[in-house]
Amino acid sequence: MKVSMQTGLLCVLAAPIQAITLLQVLQSYSELSSLSGYVNASANATALLANANNFTFFAASNAAIAKFATQNSNALAEDVLEATLQYALVKGGYPSLSFSDTPQFAASNLVNGTYANVTGGQAMELVLGSSGSLEVISGNKTISTAPATDIVCGGGIVHIIDTVPSIPISIVAEITAANLQYFVSILNAGGFLNTANTYVNQVLEIPDVTYFIPNSAGALSNASALVKNSSAADLQAMFEYHVVPGLVAYSTSLANGTTFKTAQGDNVTVTVQDGETYINAAKVIDSDLLVANGVVHVIDSLLNRFDTSPPPAATSAIASSTSTPATAASATSTHAPVSNATSHKSNSTTIGVAVGVSIGGSLLVAAIAFFLFRRSRKLKKQRASSARDSHSTSSIGEKGRNIYVQHEVEVQRGSNWNTNRNDGSPDGSPTSTSPLRVQTMGINQFQSMHVEDIGGPEYIAPNERFQAPQDSFNLQRSKPNEKLETERGSP
């Protein structure tokens, strides 16, 4: 018994492991039964999915198929079904973790010229939605979300989606579907709908085209004014300046500083500023409208080939330029012409950080300087106090205070105080009147001279007269309005 169990186990391990196929996935999931039925009924559809390799397939759920059939009367026609499956079968692997906030434009297997005119296959946009779910954005901005993801099978990955992807339509049909009313009026005002203008049909039918379509009241007003004074050649140049042939430039290709050559022959320049994208000075207000032969970006103003200047400097840069000269220089360099610019995103941040660091550093230096200044003054006062104490003898008053007093009298000419000093003229009269600084000395110093003439060491009466030694002065002020008299003291 043990031998037979071991033999069976070895046989199972030795048997080759076969991966489930894409067709088997459709048959295995009940929510894909409608899709599986339509595929099995079409030989072309069956062959397409059976031979697929290195793919990501966005399989429409039963509810998605029912809604699609209701909205499209010919949805179940053979060619429509096949084209829809080709569009849902994307080249390359896109597991759920490869989706992010930055869109990806994945080429599909839809190369049928009846439905697509994009080299390499019509694309669909893959992005992570705001809710964190996987989103597939197809023609006319149709959004499909994926409730079930990362079903692995032989050759690729399957995501189950809730809406059938919409095959992009022609540029003419998209103008109506996207409700671009102002642009329709511009086409009418410029005579671009006239069948005699063959250049219009030429840019509508060629493959791989990027269209910049102005759609605003301002653009219509500008176009209407230009039409009045423009020749037929001018109008053709104006129309062709909004078309870039030979290139499908999705939003991911609109990098700052990029230039594109238009059908008219001149270039347009891309500027990315404060998170917004501009073509010359025209702002992109809606991007990535997928059409049969390329992509449409809607702009807010008419492009002028004679004025290719970038948009005005950002408001934040203007505010910074008024704060400090250094910031102004940074703002100027940030918003230089686009052809010399390399990156916009980090300059505003850098300016703000630089200004903040400069202000913080200045405040710190000022605080340190103020602290050192206060400390220096305090030390000077302490040294001055120590010097006075060491050169004078203190005397204690009646309340125990040091009554050492220093007076400075600055006598100015013509003031109420007058100092007359006898400089030794023959008649003994004063010969000059000059400012005098008088400092009373410590009480004990006077005591060592003529203490009996001063009146005691404890107190000097303010109105008393004292006798100083030779070369000293007698000071007296008897009344507030009298001048200070100095007389040479007798020996």
Mean pLDDT of 344-362: 44
User: Which CA distances in Å does 337 have to 284, 303, 309, 332?
Assistant: 19, 17, 8, 10
- Residue 442: its pLDDT value, please? 47
Whole-number average pLDDT of the chain: 76
Q: What is the pTM of this model?
A: 0.63
Least confident of 11-20, 216-225, 403-412: 403-412
Q: Over the stretch 310-352, which tens digit does the pLDDT of each residue have?
A: 999 876 555 554 444 433 333 333 333 333 333 343 444 444 4
Q: What is the number of other CB atoms lying within 10 angstroms of the CB of residue 97?
A: 9
- Residue 73: its pLDDT value, please? 77
C-alpha to C-alpha distance for 485 and 420, rounded to whole angstroms? 7
Q: Predicted confidence band at 196 (pLDDT cuts at 50, 70, 90)?
A: very high
Of 118, 134, 213, residue with least CA distance to 169? 118
What φ, ψ does residue 283 adopt, rounded to 5°? -85, 135
- Residue 341: its pLDDT value, please? 37
Supply the angle between the helices 345-391 and 325-334 in degrees, to the nearest 10. Answer: 170
- Residue 74: its pLDDT value, please? 77
- Residue 19: its pLDDT value, please? 77
Of 212, 215, 183, residue with least CA distance to 288? 212
Q: Over the stretch 67-82, which tens digit does the pLDDT of each residue have?
A: 998 888 777 688 899 9
Q: Provide the phi-psi class of 471: left if phi over 0, else alpha when psi is between -120 and 50, else beta.
A: left
Of 121, 114, 62, residue with least CA distance to 90? 121
Q: Over the stretch 291-317, which tens digit does the pLDDT of each residue have?
A: 999 999 999 999 999 999 999 987 655
Residue 395: HSE in the Cβ half-sphere, 13 Å Cα cutoff = 17
Q: Over the stretch 391-449, which tens digit does the pLDDT of each residue have?
A: 444 434 444 444 334 444 344 444 444 444 444 444 444 444 444 444 444 444 444 44
Q: What is the number of other CB atoms lying within 10 angstroms of the CB of residue 45?
A: 19
Cβ contacts of 439 within 8 Å, gap of 6 or more: 406, 407, 408
> For residue 450, what is the enclosing H or E element?
helix 443-454
- Residue 72: its pLDDT value, please? 81
Q: Over the stretch 249-306, which tens digit does the pLDDT of each residue have?
A: 999 999 999 999 999 999 999 999 999 999 999 999 999 999 999 999 999 999 999 9
* Range list of H helices, 121-208: 171-177, 181-189, 198-205
pLDDT(355) > 80:
no
pLDDT(193) > 60:
yes
